[in-house]
């Protein structure tokens, strides 16, 4: 039993899926070249976002299915710390806690009372309409239509939130959690997330779940995190779907359920969650929970790459390095070199014995063609080859 492959689903809808063999080496964009190493985003929604990365890991997940056990990836989506194993049982439904009393909430630092920011060429006029206030806050914190001014953004969100705008409640909670325009105050972030949840804001369900998963501002409770992620997932929030999938895959806060995890990953990925694309691709690549399907894995990694995930290059390279119908050492080497040139250094962590010999030779040729390696082309990934890879990586990281 397995999750319906996306290629099959697209075929049924009349959409022609891309051919795995026709996937070209993604060109390095100017932005990617300047960005340096990709970091997994937080497992929360930020200002104005509706599609987010999953739970943020300390390290980028490594590609799966490596030739040697030492180099097999730990496909951890983002930042829920690895807790002690949870008992695998049915989790009782957990209601979202009620917001604190109004009097307690009013004791929070008031963004409206913050010192006025430096005057701008155009004075900031705060409208009365709650939605217009919310939109002004987004523009001020993102710098889309006027200069960034986080203090003024927090004030706009506060005014809109107090007027009952659910999205502004979420943005104000995020500002308190991250100290954007106000002093950090996670306890007040929790209160505003709860209010936003009461108003039906799905992103707040995801973010409050993240706080419970990590014990920030609340007592750590993986079970409550799962309940909140499920609420957000069922409300259509892609990041909550991905986070729920990760908790189910790892058996944290709920019974371990690989197929259930794959289903939620697929829904999250279809909603644009790039971490879920990587996680789903890795499940197809490894073949433990789902039937192994390197072509389906490659399609998901290619989608993640197209959405800006640099580490997808290493996953794709490994598919071309591995034995099988897609084995292509030259393409694998090109993808590994491209990953290094964009700041992903996973390939450097591999032991010599983990390398496919032909891919190692092709990698040395690629490095030599760039003027970074002048040693023998013998497939021995030793100090010279590693120094060349490090030079490429350092150039990306240092701009």
Q: Which distant-in-sequence residues (6+ apart) come within 8 Å of 261 by Cβ?
A: 245, 246, 248, 249, 283, 289
Task: Tokens 């009782």: give the residue.
Answer: 92
Nearest to 182 by CA among 141, 210, 229, 234: 141
pLDDT of residue 260: 97
Nearest to 246 by CA among 275, 221, 219: 275
Mean pLDDT of 61-68: 41
| DSSP per-residue string spanning 212-241 | HHHTSSS---HHHHHHHHHHHHHTT-HHHH
Tell me the pLDDT band of 48, cut-offs 50, 70 and 90: low
d(CA 315, CA 235): 31
Task: Name the token pair of 41.
Answer: 């985003």
d(CA 66, CA 283): 13
Whether 353 contacts 98, CB under 8 Å: no
d(CA 357, CA 56): 34
Phi and psi at 285, nearest 5°, equal -75, -45
As a three-state string, the secondary structure of 242-309 is HHHHHHHHHCCCCCCCHHHHHHHHHHHHHCCCHHHHHHHHHHHHHCCCCCCCHHHHHHHHHHHHHCCC
| DSSP per-residue string spanning 128-166 | SSHHHHHHHHHHHHHTSSS---HHHHHHHHHHHHHTT-H
Residue 152 pLDDT greater than 50, yes or no? yes
Task: Name the token pair of 84.
Answer: 């002690």
Task: Name the token pair of 370.
Answer: 């760039």
| DSSP per-residue string spanning 74-135 | ----S-----SPPP-SPPPP-PPPPPPPHHHHTTS--GGGSPPPPPPSS-----SSHHHHHH
Whether 295 contacts 21, CB under 8 Å: no
Pick the more confident residue, 142 or 85: 142
pLDDT of residue 265: 98
Residue 168 pLDDT greater than 90, yes or no? yes
- The 10s digit of each residue's pLDDT in 178-217 is 999 999 999 999 999 999 999 999 999 999 999 999 999 9
Pick the more confident residue, 30 or 209: 209
d(CA 166, CA 3): 35
Tell me the pLDDT band of 367, cut-offs 50, 70 and 90: very high
DSSP secondary-structure letter at 71?
G
State whether residue 390 is helix, strand or coil: helix
pLDDT of residue 288: 84
- Structural domains in the chain plus CATH codes: 26-83+90-108+185-397 (1.25.40.10)
Mean pLDDT of 355-364: 98
d(CA 6, CA 1): 15
- The 10s digit of each residue's pLDDT in 258-285 is 999 999 999 999 999 999 999 999 999 9
Whether 280 contacts 265, CB under 8 Å: yes
**In the chain, % of residues over pLDDT 70:** 70
Tell me the pLDDT band of 60, cut-offs 50, 70 and 90: very low
Q: Which distant-in-sequence residues (6+ apart) come within 8 Å of 171 by Cβ?
A: 47, 48, 134, 137, 138, 141, 153, 157, 161
Nearest to 257 by CA among 290, 222, 224: 290
Pick the more confident residue, 315 or 55: 315
Which stretch of DSSP H or E encloses residue 338?
helix 329-341
Residue 123 pLDDT greater than 90, yes or no? no
């Amino acid at each position: 039993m397995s999750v319906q492959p996306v290629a099959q689903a697209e075929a049924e809808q009349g959409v022609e899926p891309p051919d795995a063999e026709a996937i070209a080496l993604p060109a390095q964009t100017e932005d990617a070249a300047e960005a340096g190493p990709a970091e997994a985003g937080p497992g929360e929604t930020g200002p104005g976002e509706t599609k987010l990365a999953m739970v943020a890991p300390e390290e980028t997940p490594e590609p799966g299915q490596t030739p040697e056990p030492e180099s097999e990836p730990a496909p951890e989506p983002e930042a829920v710390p690895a807790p002690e194993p949870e008992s695998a049982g049915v989790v009782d439904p957990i209601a979202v806690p009620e917001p604190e009393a109004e009097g307690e909430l009013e004791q929070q630092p008031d963004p409206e009372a913050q010192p006025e920011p430096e005057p701008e060429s155009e004075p900031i006029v705060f409208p009365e309409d709650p939605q217009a206030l919310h939109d002004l806050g987004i523009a001020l914190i993102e710098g889309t239509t006027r200069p960034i001014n986080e203090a003024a953004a927090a004030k706009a969100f506060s005014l809109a939130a107090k007027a009952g705008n659910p999205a502004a409640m979420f943005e104000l909670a995020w500002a308190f959690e991250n100290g954007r325009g106000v002093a950090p105050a996670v306890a007040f972030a929790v209160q505003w997330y709860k209010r936003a949840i009461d108003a039906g804001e799905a992103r707040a369900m995801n973010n409050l779940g993240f706080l419970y998963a990590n014990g920030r501002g609340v007592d750590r409770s993986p079970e409550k995190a799962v309940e909140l992620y499920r609420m957000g997932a069922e409300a259509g929030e892609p990041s909550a779907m991905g986070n729920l999938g990760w908790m189910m895959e790892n058996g944290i806060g709920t019974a371990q359920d690989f197929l259930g995890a794959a289903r939620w990953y697929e829904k999250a990925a279809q909603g644009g969650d790039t971490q879920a694309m990587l996680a789903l691709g890795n499940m197809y690549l490894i073949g433990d929970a789902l039937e192994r399907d390197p072509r389906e894995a490659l399609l998901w990694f290619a989608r993640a790459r197209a959405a800006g995930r640099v580490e997808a290059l290493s996953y794709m390279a490994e598919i071309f390095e591995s034995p099988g119908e897609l084995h292509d050492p030259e393409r694998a080497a090109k993808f590994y070199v491209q990953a290094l040139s964009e700041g992903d250094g996973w390939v450097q962590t591999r032991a010599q014995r983990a390398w496919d010999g032909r891919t190692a030779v092709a990698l040395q040729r690629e490095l030599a063609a760039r003027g970074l390696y002048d040693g023998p082309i013998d497939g021995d990934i030793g100090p010279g080859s590693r120094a060349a890879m490090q030079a490429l990586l350092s150039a990306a990281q240092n701009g």
